[in-house]
Structure 1
Amino acid sequence: MAKPEYHIFVCAQQRPDGHPRGSCGAKGAGNLLQHFSERLVAHNLFNKVSLVATGCLGPCRAGANVLVYPGGVLYMDIKPEDVDSIISQHLVAGDPWADKIAPDEVWQ
């Protein structure tokens, strides 16, 4: 595999129901990871993008969270229907998709 141009980290943290921080896993991260994988193949980007399931990325209340490098762009509250916008705007056009970028306050 060639060196990827982008790394996409999808939080797949799973915590027990009722945990005070919640989890991206409880917010559909498993389906989100699968959808990203399918859409990257459909866009013929599987050789340019590394897709990785991760543990907690930090701002759990904003999940499901997706982090894209380079740039360290954190997308929050991501649903499967958001994946094509991230791919077409960020990965293909090179401009982060502003609609779901986490504001700095989410880290506080």
Structure 2
Amino acid sequence: MPKPKYHILVCTNSRPPGHPKPSCGAAGAAQLLMAFNMGLMQRAVPPGEVLVSTTSCLGPCEQGPTIVVYPDNTWYSKVTEADVAPILDEHVAKGTPVAKLNPDDVWK
């Protein structure tokens, strides 16, 4: 397999019921992961060009689901299945990050 052009990390971390801190898993990360994989298939992206992986907690749990796109180190917050198409069509296909999903206040 060639080195991927992009690596999309999807936080799928889950916490026990009643835990005081939210989690990306409880916010629909599994469906998001499936949407990325389906989106790549629908766009006929060659295998290995874009790698989609799960990860544990990335930190901004209140902003989840959180994803990171490398090699750009672009962090996206509150990502929904509807956001997958713009991420794939704008960021992955054209190299232009989706500004509305990349708020400056996540790390404040």
Corresponding residue of 2:10: 10
The structural deviation recorded for 1:16 is 1.3
5 Å-filtered alignment, 1:87-106, equals 87-103=88-104, 105-106=105-106
Q: Give the AA of the match of 2:96.
A: D
4+ residue runs of structure 1 moved beyond 2 angstroms? none
Corresponding residue of 1:80: 81
Corresponding residue of 1:63: 64
> Quick one: distance in 1 between partners of 2:82 and 2:68?
17
- Residue 26 of structure 2 aligns to a residue whose secondary structure is helix
The structural deviation recorded for 1:2 is 1.3
Q: Please say if residues 65 and 78 of structure 1, whose CA atoms lie closer than 8 Å, have aligned partners that are also in contact.
A: yes
Q: Give the AA of the match of 1:40.
A: L
Q: Please say if residues 24 and 63 of structure 1, whose CA atoms lie closer than 8 Å, have aligned partners that are also in contact.
A: yes
User: What is the alpha-carbon root mean square deviation over aligned residues?
Assistant: 1.0
TM-score, normalised on structure 2?
0.93
> Quick one: distance in 2 between partners of 1:20 and 1:73?
27
Q: Give the AA of the match of 2:7.
A: H
Q: Give the AA of the match of 2:8.
A: I
Q: Please say if residues 58 and 107 of structure 1, whose CA atoms lie closer than 8 Å, have aligned partners that are also in contact.
A: no
Q: Please say if residues 66 and 74 of structure 1, whose CA atoms lie closer than 8 Å, have aligned partners that are also in contact.
A: yes
Q: Which runs of 5+ in 1 are unaligned?
A: none
Q: Which runs of 5+ in 2 are unaligned?
A: none
TM-score, normalised on structure 1?
0.93
Aligned length: 107
The structural deviation recorded for 1:61 is 0.2
